[in-house]
Amino acid sequence: MRVEYTDLGIMNYKEAWQKQGLLMEKLKQEKSESKEGLNHLLFVEHPHVYTLGRNGNQANMLMNTIQLAEKNADFIKVDRGGDITYHGPGQLVVYPVFCLTDFRIGVKEYVRRLEEVVINVIAEYGLQGERMEKATGVWIDAGTSGARKICAIGVKCSQFVTMHGFALNVNTDLNYFNYINPCGFVDRGVTSIERETGKKANIDEVKHFVLQYFKDIFAIEYANYLFEY
C-alpha cells in the first residue's frame, strides 16, 4: 500500500485539523468513485493547545480562559474520540489519513497497530511500552500504581477513512499536563522519552523510527520518502 508522507513542521492545531479534513474528504470521494486514492501520513508539532474529544468531560480542563492565555495555550473541542489531552513543542503528533479497507482492517485493529508502532519506537530507547485495559494509548509500568502514559491516541473514522491519530511525548514540557486530568484520569501520570531516559531525544531520529515501524506494521511503501537517515 502506497502512502504519502508529509512533515508539516510546526503548525497550529486548527490549520492541521483542516488539512486532515480536506485529505479525508478527498480520499472518501475517491473511494466512492472506485478510484485507488492516496493514503497520507502527516507529522506535526503544535504550539501549546488542549483538545477535548467529542465524548470528553470539560471539567477535566482545570484552567479558565485567563489562565490559558497566561500559558499561551488554546483550548479546542474536536471531533475525535477520547477525552482531553495536551499538544505542544517537543511532542510528535502523527495523523494517518488511511482508508482502512485498503489495509483490510477495522478500527479496533487499526488502533492496536498504532499502539504497536509506538511500542516498537520507544523500545529503540530502551523503554518497555505496554497497553492498559480500557485505556487506549501506550503506557510505562501499566497496571502498577506508577503507571504513566507516554502516548495518547484518539481517532475519528468516517466511511472507513481515518483522521486524528497519536501524540508521542518526546521532549515535551510535561508541566502543561498539570492543568488537566489527562485523558480523564486523575490517578495516573504522564511521561516522555526524555523523562524516562534522562536525556533529550533527537526528534528527527524518532520520526525516522515511526516511519520505519509504520512501514513494517502496516505493510506500506512511501510514495516520497527514502530511508537515508
For cell 471531533, the residue is: 79
* Active-site residue identified among 99, 151, 157, 183: 183
For 130-170, give the secondary structure using H, E and C: EEECCEEEEEECCCCCCCEEEEEEEEEEECCEEEEEEEEEC
Question: Residues 156, 81: contact at Cβ < 8 Å?
Answer: yes
**Cell numbers that stand for 2 in this block:** 502506497
Q: Who's near 172: CB < 8 A, 6+ residues apart?
A: 88, 89, 90, 91, 192, 194
Closest CA to 76 of 67, 152, 85: 85
**Residue 183 appears among annotated catalytic residues:** yes
Q: Say if residue 171's pLDDT is above 50.
A: yes
Q: Which residues, at least 6 apart from 68, have a Cβ–Cβ distance to it below 8 Å?
A: 50, 74, 75
Give residue 82's pLDDT: 78
What number is the average pLDDT over the span 193-220? 97
pTM of model > 0.85: yes
Q: State mean pLDDT over 22-36.
A: 93
pLDDT tens figures, 64-74 = 888 888 888 88
Contact 181, 187 (CB under 8 A): no
Q: In what side-by-side order are the strands of the sheet with 74-77?
A: 74-77, 49-52, 84-87
The confidence score (pLDDT) of residue 229 equals 42
pLDDT at 98 over 50: yes
Element (H, E) at 69: helix 65-70
**What Å distances lie between residue 88 and 21, 78, 129, 219, 220, CA to CA?**
21, 16, 21, 30, 28
Which pLDDT does position 48 carry in this prediction? 95
Q: Dig out the grid coordinates for 77 from the structure.
A: 473541542
174-195, pLDDT tens digit by residue?
A: 999 988 876 556 557 899 999 9
- Domains and their CATH numbers in the chain: 2-222 (3.30.930.10)
